[in-house]
Structure 1
């Protein structure tokens, strides 16, 4: 059964709207009465209470003032902003291009001692070459209808990837074999990318595994692409958004799934043989 990547974000949002609803009810106000005090249409109150529209900091301040609970506003604003940070739409984050986004992750990677990454569709970002990343990021920019700064973003991604060579970190990557055959960029760029996997996979701080397509009796079906940062955060990449999972029970589920996926992977000489086969298929 696929893991749901959005329940942490949903639970955080539900907690905020539940607290707002409780304030309204404790004040003895109807949806319409609260809306009148806040100066907006009653439908907006319903949208907020049903978690269809996230409240802005101003909305929360007005709500708390209308219910005589202004002292709760700071905590509710912080909780709401945290809830929205768990589910972050790519379009909002890359309005001015993708290059800046790459730098945003640098400190997160540097603060992670053990990074576990699973990908069924792409070479993991920390293992991407500049040519492969340029092709990928340019296509993403076109899909999201934002400025195409793929080349600059790729250069920034490669600079960010230097964290692999910094002491104090361990990296465990697991990909599906099909990833080796999804072509991004021209044949030369793809060959360079596949060749780099053999180099990076040999680093002492890196474990690189490939789940063969011919694996018999898989213990777990392919899942969504995700990173596990130590045991404190799981970052899940969806087409439209990044979901950050912080609930311990959900993190444990992702770790369990990762270990099952890792158990099916091949490493060392067997992994290199699959990469060589993919390189030969480019000819």
Structure 2
């Protein structure tokens, strides 16, 4: 919880993007995934957090690995075997362009919450009716 304090305090802003498939890929078990999706839903409510989901139906733009951009001064890239730290401005531009393009495809706010709710309902065995009602 100490690491997450930075999300609630200070002046930093955090912009997260995930692919919709991440909501449907089981890491751990269903109970772990339910907790993770609920946690992400709560994080979306924080004023310093912008959270987007790139829908499964979005067109292909880039092949990427996980990366984190730090204040346009550094990018950390996660690969299978190592973590890379990129600081060259000419290389940082590629990550910024990639993030911007993916962010344009992403849904935010209510639309992102709806995708999360759908994934959560699926994990909990709840089916949504055409009228928005739910049944187990």
TM-score over 0.5 for the alignment? yes
Query: Is 1:275 the equivalent of 2:134?
Result: no
Give the deviation of 1:221 after TM superposition.
2.8
| CA deviation vs aligned residue, 1:76-135 (integer Å, no higher than 9, x gap) | xxxxxxxxxxxxxxxxxxxxxxxxxxxxxxxxxxxxxxxxxxxxxxxxxxxxxxxxxxxx
Q: Distance in 1 between matches of 2:100 and 2:22?
A: 19
Name the structure with the higher helix share. Answer: 1
Give the deviation of 1:159 after TM superposition.
2.6
| CA deviation vs aligned residue, 1:197-242 (integer Å, no higher than 9, x gap) | 1110111110000000012x44x13411100000110000001100
Match of 1:237 in 2: 78
CA RMSD in angstroms comes to: 1.2
Which shows bigger deviation, 188-197 or 169-178?
Answer: 188-197
Give the deviation of 1:185 after TM superposition.
1.9
| CA deviation vs aligned residue, 1:119-177 (integer Å, no higher than 9, x gap) | xxxxxxxxxxxxxxxxxxxxxxxxxxxxxxxxxxxxxxx43122111121100001100
3-state DSSP of counterpart to 1:160: coil
Match of 2:55 in 1: 212
Give the deviation of 1:256 after TM superposition.
1.1
Q: Work out which of the residue numbers 17, 22, 43 in structure 2 matches 1:179.
A: 22
- Give ranges in structure 1 of 5+ residues lacking alignment: 1-157
Whichever of the two has the greater Rg, that structure is 1
- Give ranges in structure 2 of 5+ residues lacking alignment: 126-136
CA contact 2:41–2:116 (8 Å) conserved in 1: yes
3-state DSSP of counterpart to 2:2: helix
How many residue pairs are counted as aligned between the two chains?
124
Q: Distance in 2 between matches of 1:254 and 1:279?
A: 31
Query: Is 1:164 the equivalent of 2:4?
Result: no
Name the structure with the higher strand share. Answer: 2
Give the deviation of 1:253 after TM superposition.
1.3
Calculate the TM-score normalised by the size of structure 2: 0.86
Q: Distance in 2 between matches of 1:180 and 1:221?
A: 20
3-state DSSP of counterpart to 1:175: strand
Calculate the TM-score normalised by the size of structure 1: 0.42
Q: Distance in 2 between matches of 1:176 and 1:279?
A: 15
3-state DSSP of counterpart to 2:3: helix
